[in-house]
């Protein structure tokens, strides 16, 4: 569905919720809408807190929200805007972790540009020089037999580990190395040791003819290895002014895997936590619930890279802060599948709701999520999820069942009221 038509659909849905609010909302939305269709979503405050769908759609419209990318940065800005509009103070908790990413690498020979893959662990670099073909598969004496000093080596894959071949090249004075895969397709090799020179992989289809040419002709090439070594990620923390020690943390990760818009995983959980925050705050005309002063609302980044955001949070929290928590409620994949699971720690057992069939069927159960970081610090947890679904971690994870968002929100509010009673 294109962004323009989703906006039209949005306006129609809210029309039923009362003209005065809608008109105010419509003016805000149209004033903020621009050709890109993304930034304006931050302005388009949904006119009704009971509808987390708008926020879910705003996050999905940013595309795959991979930790360390511009999309998650935009998503974090959207969440900050929405929490602030709902009367909360926000804090960005920035953290970094090793995450190799190839931002686009290539080899240019004259007017020919070949797409290449930076090897995992390669250093970045843009280097020009003579392209020297290495005989056989790149033993030290193979490198010594050609004028590779100060040049870019091109060698065939095989006969040793990638790291050994790269070491032989740099020991021989090469300024970079191109490794040609021994199959038509390309391969992204992984280096087990930190290389001294950039390492680019070429497919056999592109690399074989080039290797042959370099054996006989004097070729000059420009190698571009464009990599990111670490991911810089952001947790978005929201709470009312002066609330330094909450009793409860409500959390959900807002990042997604590459290639997936992450509607259910996990714009759904992120939107539900935001909707709960709105409903408990003094926004949209209702009075502020005392519960809102006992809760921190957190959108975690980097969950798909191994619970990085929640781990960073607990690592920075004091033992006192963690031990004063009555619980951490985590929301992940909460808007596809009719059964809502609320799996939890023993101390929160009376608040759990689990479907035994789902529990017994590993195919339906979800792997770990951000509550695990808190559980490992002995914080009682409650994990809200609706189990596995076929669009999981795929490009098709772009829609949800809207009413399940509201059902999850209401079920969570029940638990919160009981836990904080
Ligand atoms: Zn998830």
Distance 100 CA to ligand 1 centre (A): 21
User: What's the confidence (pLDDT) of residue 60?
Assistant: 98
Q: What are the start and end residues of each CATH 3.40.630.10 domain in the chain?
A: 6-98+231-419
pLDDT digits (tens, 9 = 90+) for 293-328: 999 999 999 999 999 999 999 999 999 999 999 999
CA angle, residues 77, 78, 82, in degrees to nearest 5: 115
Average pLDDT value for residue range 101-124:
95
Give me the pLDDT at residue 38, please: 44
Residues 264-280: what's their mean pLDDT? Answer: 97
Query: What is the per-residue pLDDT for 17?
Result: 47
Specify the domain boundaries for CATH 3.50.30.30 within the chain: 104-225
- For residue 34, pLDDT over 60 is answered with no
Distance in Å, CA 54 to ligand 1 centroid = 19
**Contact, 207 vs 180, CB < 8 A?**
yes
DSSP single-letter state for residue 134: P
Q: 117 CA distance to ligand 1 centroid (A)?
A: 28
Gap from CA of 395 to ligand 1 centroid (Å):
14
Are the C-beta atoms of 111 and 183 separated by less than 8 Å? no
**CA 341 / ligand 1 centre spacing (Å):** 14
Q: Which residues contact 79 (CB under 8 A, 6 or more apart)?
A: 90, 236, 238, 254, 270, 274, 299
The 10 Å Cβ neighbour count of residue 111 is 5
Which pLDDT belongs to residue 50?
Answer: 62
Say how many Å lie between the CA of residue 290 and the centre of ligand 1. Answer: 30
Report the CATH superfamily, name and number, of domain 6-98+231-419. Zn peptidases (3.40.630.10)
269 Cα to the center of ligand 1, angstroms: 8
Measured in Å, residue 235 CA sits from the centre of ligand 1 at 15
pLDDT tops 50 at residue 3: no
DSSP letters for 42-89:
HH---S-TT-THHHHHHHHTT----TTSHHHHHHHHHHHHHHHHTT-E
Model pLDDT for residues 328-381, shown as the tens digit of each residue? 999 999 999 999 999 888 788 787 777 777 767 777 677 789 999 999 999 999
Q: What is the pTM of this model?
A: 0.78
pLDDT at residue 115, as a whole number = 97
State in Å: Cα 266 to ligand 1 middle: 5
| Residue 223, both tokens | 């190698």
Structure tokens at 77: 């800005």
> How many angstroms separate the alpha carbon of residue 188 from the centre of ligand 1?
26
Say what the pLDDT of residue 15 is.
47
Tell me the CA–centroid distance for residue 57 and ligand 1, in Å.
Answer: 16
**CB-neighbour burial class of residue 59 (10 A; exposed 0-12, middle 13-18, buried 19+):** buried
pLDDT at 290: 82
Cα of 254 vs centre of ligand 1, distance in Å, is 8
- The model's pLDDT over 371-384, given as tens digits with 9 standing for 90+, comes to 999 999 999 999 99
Ligand 1 geometric centre to CA of 49 (Å): 23
Cis peptide before 266 (omega within 30 of 0): yes
CA of 93 to the centre of ligand 1 (A): 20
- Ligand 1 centroid–CA 398 distance in Å is 14
From the CA of 224, how far away is ligand 1's center (Å)? 34
**2 pLDDT higher than 60:** no
Secondary element (H or E) of residue 382: strand 381-385
Lowest mean pLDDT among 20-34, 193-207, 321-335, 375-389: 20-34
Mean pLDDT computed over 124-140: 96
Q: How far does the centroid of ligand 1 lie from the alpha carbon of residue 351, in Å?
A: 22
- Ligand 1 centre to CA of 9 (Å) is 27
**Residues 129-140: what's their mean pLDDT?**
96
Q: In whole numbers, what is the pLDDT of the chain averaged over residues? A: 88
For the cut 80, the answer to whether the pLDDT of residue 221 exceeds it is yes
**CA-closest candidate to residue 398, choices 270, 269, 262:** 262
Q: Domain 104-225 belongs to what topology?
A: Glucose Oxidase; domain 1 (3.50.30)
Q: Are 231 and 97 in contact (CB under 8 A)?
A: yes
pLDDT digits (tens, 9 = 90+) for 73-102: 999 999 999 999 999 999 999 999 999 999
């Amino acid at each position: 569905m294109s962004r323009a038509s989703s906006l039209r659909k949005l306006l129609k849905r809210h029309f039923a919720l009362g003209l005065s609010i809608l008109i105010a909302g419509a003016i805000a939305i149209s004033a903020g809408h621009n050709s890109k269709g993304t930034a304006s979503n931050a302005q388009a405050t949904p006119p009704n807190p009971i509808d987390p769908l708008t926020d879910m759609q705003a996050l999905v419209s940013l595309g795959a929200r991979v930790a360390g990318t511009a999309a998650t940065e935009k998503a974090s800005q959207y969440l900050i805007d929405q929490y602030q509009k709902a009367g909360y103070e926000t804090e960005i908790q920035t953290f970094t972790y090793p995450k190799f990413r190839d931002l686009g690498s290539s080899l240019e020979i004259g007017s020919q540009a070949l797409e290449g893959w930076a090897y995992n662990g390669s250093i970045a670099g843009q280097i020009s020089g003579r392209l020297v073909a290495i005989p056989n598969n790149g033993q030290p004496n193979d490198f010594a037999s050609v004028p590779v000093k100060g040049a870019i080596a091109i060698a065939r894959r095989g006969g040793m580990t990638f790291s050994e071949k790269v070491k032989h090249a740099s020991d021989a004075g090469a300024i970079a190395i191109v490794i040609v895969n021994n199959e038509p397709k390309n391969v992204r090799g992984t280096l087990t040791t930190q290389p001294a020179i950039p390492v680019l992989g070429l497919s056999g289809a592109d690399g074989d003819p080039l290797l042959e040419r370099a054996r006989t002709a004097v070729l000059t090439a420009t190698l571009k290895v464009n990599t990111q070594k670490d991911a810089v990620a952001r947790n978005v923390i929201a709470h009312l002014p002066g609330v330094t020690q909450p009793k409860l943390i409500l959390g959900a990760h807002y990042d997604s895997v590459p290639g997936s818009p992450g509607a259910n995983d996990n714009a759904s959980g992120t939107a539900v936590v935001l909707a709960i925050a709105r409903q408990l705050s003094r926004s949209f005309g209702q009075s502020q619930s005392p519960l809102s002063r006992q809760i921190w609302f957190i959108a975690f980044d980097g969950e798909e890279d191994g619970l990085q955001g929640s781990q960073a949070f607990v690592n920075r929290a004091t033992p006192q802060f963690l031990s004063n928590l009555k619980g951490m409620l985590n929301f992940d994949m909460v808007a596809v599948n009719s059964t809502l699971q609320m799996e939890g720690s023993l101390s929160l057992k009376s608040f759990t709701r689990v479907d035994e069939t789902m529990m017994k069927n590993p195919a339906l159960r979800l792997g770990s999520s951000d509550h695990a970081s808190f559980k490992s610090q002995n914080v009682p947890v409650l994990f809200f999820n609706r189990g596995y679904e076929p669009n999981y971690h795929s490009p098709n994870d772009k829609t949800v069942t809207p009413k399940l968002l509201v059902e999850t929100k209401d079920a969570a509010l029940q638990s919160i009221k009981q836990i904080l009673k």
